[in-house]
């Protein structure tokens, strides 16, 4: 049981380059999330997808775009990378849906992204 | 809006000692409460959760947490810490009708031998 799989695990980019972080879950979860984790800041929500076909902005969406490709996959794209986007990115999923609000999240192991 | 405070950035304990990590939340009604643990280089893993009922909840790895409505707290405890418990611990809250959790900033647990 793989759970939540993120690729790549590590990436180094130059300022201005673009890239897409991939996330897939095999738990048939409805909701998926992208977070960034920076020292002393905890987890900050970038975007989320409550269900297949929908996406919404979180706390820090600027500079990012997302695609909920299907129920399994939720990708995060940096169109023009900036040094401020150096961070560890986590994808998560949960069963949460209308009427079932209290399900915990399952996390991937993260993508460590450095932008020079 | 809901918020979560973990007042301790770092906690250092000796192996075998007891542990309590603090978490306070701000939300009017009874929220859904979670504790997660993050080992180095890993994602977050659920330790335990509280939704309703018994205010003392048991989790994995010998952890427990107690919900105290009067103090708006959900503190995590373990009677005897093992070196493998060294990790980052996050408290999270979800208010009813939302599936967007708010996370605390985390408490880093250091275990001395």
Q: What is the pLDDT of residues B23-55, one digit of tens each?
A: 999 876 778 899 999 999 899 999 999 988 889
B10, B37, B101: best to mutate for the A interface, most A CBs within 10 A: B101
pLDDT band at A42 (very low <50, low <70, confident <90, very high): confident
- The answer to whether B90 contacts A40, with C-beta atoms less than 8 Å apart, is no
Q: What pLDDT does A47 receive? A: 96
Q: What is the per-residue pLDDT across A87-106, written as a single tens digit (0 to 9) for each?
A: 999 999 998 766 566 788 99
pLDDT band at B9 (very low <50, low <70, confident <90, very high): very high
Q: Which residues pair with A53 in a beta bridge?
A: none
Long-range CB contacts for residues A53-60, cutoff 8 Å, separation at least 24? A58/A33, A58/A34, A58/B100, A60/A36
Name which residue leads in pLDDT, A89 or A50.
Answer: A89
CB of A46 within 8 Å of a chain B CB? The answer is: no
């Amino acid at each position: 049981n793989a759970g939540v799989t993120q690729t790549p695990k590590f990436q180094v980019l130059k300022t201005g380059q673009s890239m897409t972080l991939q996330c897939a879950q095999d738990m048939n979860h409805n909701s998926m999330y992208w977070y960034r984790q920076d020292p002393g800041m905890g987890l900050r929500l970038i975007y989320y997808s409550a269900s297949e076909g929908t996406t919404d902005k979180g706390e820090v969406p600027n500079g990012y775009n997302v695609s909920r490709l299907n129920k399994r996959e939720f990708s995060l794209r940096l169109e023009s990378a900036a040094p401020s986007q150096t961070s560890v990115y986590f994808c998560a999923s949960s069963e949460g849906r209308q009427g079932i609000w209290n399900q915990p999240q399952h996390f991937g192991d993260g993508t460590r992204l450095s932008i020079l | 809006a809901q918020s979560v405070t973990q007042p301790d950035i770092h906690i250092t304990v000796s192996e075998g000692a007891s542990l309590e990590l603090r978490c306070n939340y701000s939300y009017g009604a009874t929220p859904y409460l979670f504790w997660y643990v993050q080992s180095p280089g890993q994602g977050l893993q659920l330790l335990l959760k509280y939704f309703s009922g018994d205010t003392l909840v048991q989790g994995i790895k010998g952890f427990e947490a107690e919900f105290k409505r009067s103090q708006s707290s959900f503190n995590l405890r373990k009677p005897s810490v093992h070196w493998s418990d060294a990790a980052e611990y996050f408290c999270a809250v979800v208010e009813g009708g939302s599936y967007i959790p708010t996370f605390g900033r985390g408490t880093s647990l250091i275990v001395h031998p």
